[in-house]
A and B are shown apart, each in its own frame.
Chain A
Amino acid sequence: MNSVIHCQGLSKHFANKEALHQVSFEINAGETTGLVGPNGAGKTTLLRILCGYLRSATGSVTVLGEKPGSRALMGKLSALPQDSQFDPVFSIGKQLSHYAQLQGFSRRQSANEAMRVLELMQLQDSVNTKPDALSHGMRKRAAIAQALIGNPQLVLLDEPTAGLDPVNARNIRQQISAISDQTTFLISSHNLQELEHLCQTILLLEKGHLIQQAADRNNNSEKYITLRMAHVNEAELISIIQDMPGINSITQHQKNEFVIRYDHSRIPSLDQKLLKLLAERNWQYRHLINGQTLEEQLFST
């Protein structure tokens, strides 16, 4: 597969603070990747370096085979930068149309392209509206629309759904999903459920260090099932499942939520057996997830 982002030994300091320390990773074309980590972990710094907004102190970075900020990346790389605002004197449509013209669209094409990306974000009615007249969520969606102008090959999104209502957040996830076969996304977010739905690979940053690069989850014969129950006698459930053949362990990290680790080669249809068990006992369940939740994968000890 083609590598769209390649980072090797990337470090960045701000005064005495180390924002990134020897970060190395690679993202392949078509591989939607999530970037997670606590506040101040270095996620935004990493995205700013990839966009060419910041220079890295040491290490090498290539984006689509080019140096970040290179002219060759115009139109191929796009982004939703954090805390960036549109020019308040021009309408959203005019500004998006201007960005499209800068990418080489003719005047007429640029107006059509602006309308296309606004429609993707369900903002077509706001084409003539100035940014100050839009709500926070609408401005965020307009900024995402900006990132989709000209169908770029790689889009970096810094907290795309933060501050959005659930309906619009869902719409953005759907749009990302719909175009992720043509465009590679790198998404920084605190919403693990969102990343779980969208991403094949997860990068976990902590205090500037890349702690984990999780991909192809559950690749071994040892697999996981996460079971979330409505009401249950927890001790009885644990005891029954623990006694089933092929079960390596069952752990409970939250009330009514159990993570079952099992040997897939010995018990390939554990999910069916569990459903049968729940039906027999008349136990109500909420979710049966094939695998661990992303939260469990990243943060369980």
Chain B
Amino acid sequence: MHPNPPNTFSTLLAIWQLEFSRLFLTHRGIIYLITFAVIWFCILHYAVGPLAISSKPKLTWPVAELEVYWHLSFDMFPVLCILSAAGQTASDRERGTLRFLTLHCSRDMVFFGRFSAQILIQSILIIATLSSTLIMVIMRDPSLLIPGLQNAWIIALNLIFIILPFLALLALLSASFNSTRQVMVLAILIWILSATLIDRLSVYLPALDFLNYLVPGMQITELALLPPAKTFLLTHIPILQCFVLLVMGRTIMARSAL
């Protein structure tokens, strides 16, 4: 039997299918999903709901629950990303599975296929938590459905942009190291240490302030102050960070010994 020559989309589709199976059909994936659901249940039940009811909505967002969700998810999604997407190619490299894979498709397809699969998976998780938040909003006040939907898609897109450089950083580290745990620890260290060190340095040497652009999520503080319509003004930062990290990761992936 001889197959048709593979095209980029069919290869990507095959990689996405396997990554979705890994999350939704394997024990490890289901345990992660249950943990994710429990964490978000606690956030929504004990934080979003009570805070939204007790505090007046700020000027920026018309739906209180979504405003609380918006601020909490800035940090939650990057952390959950690091926990779930660290092993994009690292564990496969460690056990030699990448050698099998790269006999059947190119290293570029493995690298970008795994990265794009994680974008899709994280997007689904973002939409799932936002939908739960919207249900809470409707249960409190059904008239907020339309403004809620209008704000929800803005939040969803912004969160996807926020996690892009984190996923790209994980893809880069995953192409460089052989262990998922190592990738996870390094990603957290890079995220926290680079933000802290560059922040401190730029206090003494303001000329180094531009280095903040190297830190994934550096736009979050500013983003939190913007009204919904203006949140897309900062999207160029994560997109550029993601692009640079992917170019570096792709180069390492192409050159690394398997």
Residues of A within 8 A of B (CB): 48, 51-55, 69, 71, 74-75, 77-79, 81, 83-90, 94-95, 98-106, 109, 112-113, 116, 143, 146-147, 149-151
Enumerate the 4 nearest inter-chain pairs by beta-carbon distance, A residue then B residue, closest first.
A84-B96, A104-B6, A104-B3, A101-B14
Interface residues of B in 1-53 (CB under 8 A from A): 1-7, 10-11, 14-15, 17-18, 21-22, 26-28
Closest CB-CB distance, B180 to chain A, in whole Å?
13
- Residues of B with C-beta under 8 A to A101: 10, 14, 17
Given A89-B28, A101-B10, A112-B97 contact (CB < 8 Å) = no
In the complex, which residues of chain B have a beta carbon less than 8 angstroms from the beta carbon of A99?
A: 100-101, 103-104
* B60 interface residue (CB < 8 Å to A): no
Q: How far is the CA of A99 from the CA of B104 in the complex (A)?
A: 6
Nearest CB on B from A150, distance (A): 6
Chain B: residues with CB nearer than 8 A to chain A? 1-7, 10-11, 14-15, 17-18, 21-22, 26-28, 92, 95-97, 99-107, 109, 255, 257-258
Q: Is the CB of A81 within 8 A of B99?
A: yes
Q: Give bound CA distance, A86 to B96, whole Å.
A: 8
Q: How far is the CA of A77 from the CA of B99 in the complex (A)?
A: 12
> CB distance A55 to B255 under 8 Å?
yes
> CB distance B14 to A102 under 8 Å?
yes
Q: Which residue of chain A has the shortest Cβ distance to B95 in the bound complex?
A: A85
Closest to A130 in B: B26
In the assembled complex, the Cα of A202 lies from the Cα of B120 at a distance in Å of 50
How far, in whole Å, are A99 and B102 apart by their CA atoms in the complex?
A: 9
Query: Chain A contacts of B258 at CB under 8 A?
Result: 48, 53-54
- By a CB distance below 8 angstroms, the chain B residues around A104 are 3-7, 10
The residue on A at minimum CB distance from B15 is: A102
Report how far A36 CA is from B95 CA in the complex, Å. 26
* B21 touching A102, Cβ below 8 Å: no
CA distance A69 to B102 in the complex (A): 8
Residues of A within 8 A of B95 (CB): 84-85, 87-88
Residues on A with C-beta less than 8 A from B100 are: 81, 84, 86, 95, 99, 143, 146
Q: Contacts of A81 on B, CB cut-off 8 Å?
A: 96, 99-100
Q: Is the interface of B mostly helix, strand, loop or mixed?
A: helix
Nearest CB of A to B82, in Å: 20
Contact of A109 among B1, B22, B109 (CB under 8 A): B1
Residues of A within 8 Å of B105, CB to CB, are: 74, 102-103
C-alpha gap A101/B105 in the complex (Å): 10
9 A-B pairs with CB atoms under 8 Å apart are: A81-B100, A84-B95, A87-B95, A90-B26, A98-B17, A101-B14, A101-B17, A104-B5, A113-B3
Q: Is the CB of B3 within 8 A of A89?
A: no
CB distance from A77 to the nearest CB of B (A): 7
Nearest chain A CB to B92's CB is how many angstroms away?
7
The residue on A at minimum CB distance from B103 is: A78
- Say whether B14 contacts A98, CB under 8 Å: yes
Contact A51 B22 (CB under 8 A): no
Docked Cα-Cα span, A98 to B5, in Å, equals 15
Contact A74 B99 (CB under 8 A): no
Contact partners of A149 in chain B: CB under 8 A: 104
Nearest chain A CB to B54 CB, angstrom units: 44
Instruction: Tell whether, in the assembled complex, residue A103 and residue B104 are in contact, meaning their CB atoms are under 8 Å apart.
Output: yes
Residues of A within 8 A of B97 (CB): 84-87
Residues of B within 8 A of A85 (CB): 95-97
User: In the complex, A84 Cα to B99 Cα: how many Å?
Assistant: 7
- Residues on A with C-beta less than 8 A from B3 are 75, 100, 103-106, 109, 113, 150
A94 / chain B contacts, CB cutoff of 8 Å? 21
A29–B15 Cα distance when bound, in Å, is 33
Least distance between B214 CB and chain A CB atoms (Å): 29
List the B side residues contacting A105 at CB < 8 Å. 1, 3
Flag if B18 contacts A98 (CB, 8 Å): yes
Chain A contacts for B14, CB-based, 8 A? 98, 101-102
A87, B5: Cα distance in complex, Å: 25
**In the complex, which residues of chain B have a beta carbon less than 8 angstroms from the beta carbon of A74?**
6, 103-106
A84 to B103, alpha carbons, bound, how many Å? 12
The listed residue (B1, B2, B4, B11) touching A102 by CB distance below 8 A is B11
Q: A84-B95, A89-B22, A102-B14 are in contact. Are A53 and B2 (CB under 8 A)?
A: no
On whether A75 and B104 interact (CB within 8 A), knowing A54-B257, A104-B5, A104-B10, the answer reads yes
A89: which B residues are within 8 A, CB to CB? 22, 26-28
Choose among A54, A74, A102 the residue with the greatest number of B CB atoms under 10 Å from its CB.
A102
Whole-angstrom distance between the alpha carbons of A102 and B103 in the complex? 10
Chain A residues whose C-beta falls within 8 Å of the C-beta of B2 in the assembled complex: 150-151
Q: How distant is A84 from chain B, measured CB to nearest CB, in Å?
A: 3
- How distant is A44 from chain B, measured CB to nearest CB, in Å? 12
